[in-house]
Amino acid sequence: MKRLSVKDIINSPLAVSTEKGEMVFKTINSHLQNNEKVIIDFKGIDLMITAFLNAAIGKLYGNKSYSSQFLNDHIKLDNIEKEDISLFKDVIERAKEYFEDKEAFENDANEMLYGKD
């Protein structure tokens, strides 16, 4: 099992941008494509936001090559602050909903933002 240090990948203790999340996503994805199991280590991360997690983790659920079960079997998270656990749960649930029915999700979001025609 390969241990991936988020802090080392993004070269920062701040996980606060989609660009940094994309870096983590690409690293994780390269290992998953080789059917490798990974531990994503958040040691040394002082601040993390949802936008980062959406890009780093949530995006994995949009890859048709991976089922939720595959991701559960191949990814383990380590050194997560207790207050960040709910962020992960929210990101994963939203990603599953979004990628399950992307069009309906976007239509609902647009209706909320702009109202019905």
Residue with the bigger pLDDT between 98 and 111: it is 98
**pLDDT tens for residues 11-23?**
999 999 999 999 9
Judged against a pLDDT cut of 60, whether residue 109 lies above it is answered with no
* Residue where the block lists tokens 């050194």: 79
Task: Note the pLDDT tens digit of each residue in 54-75.
Answer: 999 999 988 888 988 899 999 9
Give the Cβ contact number of residue 83 at 10 Å.
8
Q: Which residues pair with 65 in a beta bridge?
A: none
How does pLDDT run across 19-55, given as a tens digit for each residue?
999 999 999 999 999 999 999 999 999 999 999 999 9
